[in-house]
Amino acid sequence: MKHLMQLTAGASLAVLAALAPATAAEIRIGSFVSATGPASFLGEPEEKTLKHYVEEINKAGGINGDTIKLVIYDDGGDANKARTFATRLVEEDKVVAVVGGSTTGTTMAAVPVFEDAQVPFISLAGAVVIVEPVKKFTFKTPHTDRMACEKIFDDMKKRGLTKIGMISGTDGFGKSMRDECVKVNARFGVEILAEETYGPRDSDMTAQLTNLKGKAGMQALINPGFGQGPAIVTRNAKQLGLNVPLYQSHGVASKSFIELAGAAAEGVRLPAAALLVADKLPDSDPQKKIALDYKTTYEKVTGQPVSTFGGHAYDGLQILVGAIKRAKSADPKKIRDEIEATKGFIGTAGIFNMTATDHMGLGLDAFRMLEIKNGDWTLADAK
């Protein structure tokens, strides 16, 4: 009996100790990403980027002399866990700001916690609903899915492609981008003749593509989705002899898409951050240096090809660090004000100009239209 009591007491203490936050005085930045689970495609590069650059910044003297402590959790793509970690970051770890939220689902689950606690939150997820309507403490760095649609339709219009088909993934990203696309297509004179969907874990889309192929007069195909689905769509399309121009989304902005899709990726177009073509940018391009720096660093540190998802984490972290520097304080409200005042920040995704009504800060020109040629990214045409 006595042994059991001692054991229980000991175990409880151990649990509590593990849960207790560290007590050193530093600037605490919190993060929660989906490093495991169905969105690990997004979360892993984000986690690696955040960890590496926090280390770099601390080596260079930190922010105004203070070291950054990064408290980062993995939500596994689960919105409920994201909510729990958000609460933990605010209550237990007492962070002054957060950069994270790999998916729209996990972001939206966490937003109420940060808004309530008045802690600034820079999200790394895509959907436009994160910043529209604008919430006081919530920002985001990736281009919105609506911008992706607009960029694609703009390009289609230029090439005279007005009747198209759409095949989208039923995951959060694919669905919300598909919803945005059907809202804006008319504005560009593009008609969506037919639509199909596929599950994010599906391994074969020939049935859906066969149906689309049968639609007379279809001039192009657009595929909102992320992960391996778009690669399979691309391969299946080639296999079926579906020879119309194929547009992917920025959800596939990493070399692994080209690897997986193989020869079928030739000629595919997608809107993406300049990061992917950093080495091909003209020297006069203001983004070239930052993008190239990040690309080389990331590839050297991780041994994996760079992806725009890690780039968004880089942008988020740097914007936050810049804001803390300018605020000269660790007060969350002051940090928030400075984030909102970010102007002319050159990141991997574009040049950010935030305002009180625009908590994303990128314009349509921050997106570049890329085309895959000879197994590599190239700029589709002069901007």
Partner 1 sequence: MGDLLQFAVSGLTVGAVYALVALGFTLIYNASEVVNFAQGEFVMLGGMGTVFFATLGFSLPVAALMAIVLAVIVGLMLHAFVIAPARGADAVTLIILTIGASLVIRGAVPIIYDKQFHKLPGFSGEESIRIAGASIQPQAFWVVGGMVLVVLALHLFLNHTRFGKAVIATSVSPLAAKLVGINTAFVVGFSFAISAGIGALAGILVTPVTLTSYDVGTILALKGFAAAVLGGIGNPVGAVLGGLLVGLLEALAAGLISSSYKDAAAFITIILVLLVMPNGLAGIKHIERV
Partner 2 sequence: MAALNPRYRTLLAILALIILPGLVMPSTFYYRIGALVFISAVAVIGINLLMGYAGQVSLGHAGFFAIGGYACAILPVRYGIDPLLAALIGVVLAGLLAFAVGRPILRLRGHYLAVATLGLGLLIGLVLTNEVWLTGGPDGMQVPRASVFGVRLRSAEHWYWISGAVLFLAAWIAANLFDSPTGRALRALRDSLVAAEVMGIRAARYKLIVFVLSAVYAAVAGAMLALFNGLVTPDNASFLHSVELVTMVVIGGMGSLIGSIVGAAVLVILPQVLTVFHEYETLLLGVLIILFMLFLRQGIAPGIAALFKRRPA
Site residues (CB under 8 A) for partner 1?
A: 36, 38, 40-41, 44, 170, 196-199, 201-204, 206-208, 210-211, 214, 227-228, 231-232, 238-241, 256, 259-260, 262-263
Among 45, 172, 229, 332, binds partner 2 (CB under 8 A): 172
Q: Is 76 in the site for partner 2 (CB under 8 A)?
A: yes
- Token pair of 304 as six digits: 């994996």
Instruction: Select from 348, 166, 318 the least CA-distant residue to 247.
Output: 166
Q: Are 273 and 143 in contact (CB under 8 A)?
A: yes
DSSP reduced 3-state for 336: helix
- Helix 206-213 and helix 229-239, axial crossing angle in degrees, nearest 10: 50
Distance CA 204, CA 239 (A): 11
Among 73, 257, 345, 367, binds partner 2 (CB under 8 A): 73
Which one-letter DSSP state was computed for residue 67? P
Residue ranges in 177-196 that form contacts with partner 2 under rule CB under 8 A: 179
- Token pair of 315 as six digits: 């942008």
> Which one, 171 or 340, has the nearer CB to partner 2?
171
Cis peptide before 133 (omega within 30 of 0): yes
Residue ranges in 204-233 that form contacts with partner 2 under rule CB under 8 A: none
Q: Least distance in Å: CB of 262 to partner 2?
A: 28
Residue ranges in 82-111 that form contacts with partner 2 under rule CB under 8 A: 83-84, 87-88, 91-92, 104-105, 108-109
Helix (H) or strand (E) holding 163, with range, is strand 163-169
201 binds, among partner 2, partner 1, none (CB under 5 to 8 A by kind): partner 1
132 binds, among partner 2, partner 1, none (CB under 5 to 8 A by kind): none
227 binds, among partner 1, partner 2, none (CB under 5 to 8 A by kind): partner 1
Q: Least distance in Å: CB of 205 to partner 1?
A: 8
Which residues share a beta bridge with 51? none
Q: Least distance in Å: CB of 199 to partner 2?
A: 8
382 binds, among partner 2, partner 1, none (CB under 5 to 8 A by kind): none
80 binds, among partner 2, partner 1, none (CB under 5 to 8 A by kind): partner 2
Task: Phi first, then psi: give them for residue 369, nearest 5 degrees.
Answer: -90, 120
Instruction: Select from 352, 254, 382 the least CA-distant residue to 338.
Output: 352
Interacting span for partner 2 (CB under 8 A) from 11-19, 252-260, 287-295, 338-346:
11-19
Q: Least distance in Å: CB of 87 to partner 2?
A: 5
87 binds, among partner 1, partner 2, none (CB under 5 to 8 A by kind): partner 2
Which one-letter DSSP state was computed for residue 31? E
Interior/surface letters 24-40, b for 16+ CB within 10 angstroms, e for the rest = eeebbbbbbbbbebbbb
Q: Least distance in Å: CB of 74 to partner 2?
A: 4
Q: Are 130 and 108 in contact (CB under 8 A)?
A: yes
Distance CA 247, CA 276 (A): 16
Distance CA 282, CA 269 (A): 20
Q: Least distance in Å: CB of 128 to partner 2?
A: 12
- Token pair of 347 as six digits: 């990141």
Residue ranges in 35-54 that form contacts with partner 2 under rule CB under 8 A: 35-36
- Token pair of 372 as six digits: 């895959």
Residue ranges in 115-154 that form contacts with partner 2 under rule CB under 8 A: 127
Placement of tokens 């100009």 in the chain: 353
Q: Which residues bind partner 2 (CB under 8 A)?
A: 1, 4, 15, 18-19, 35-36, 73-74, 76-81, 83-84, 87-88, 91-92, 104-105, 108-109, 112, 127, 170-172, 175-176, 179
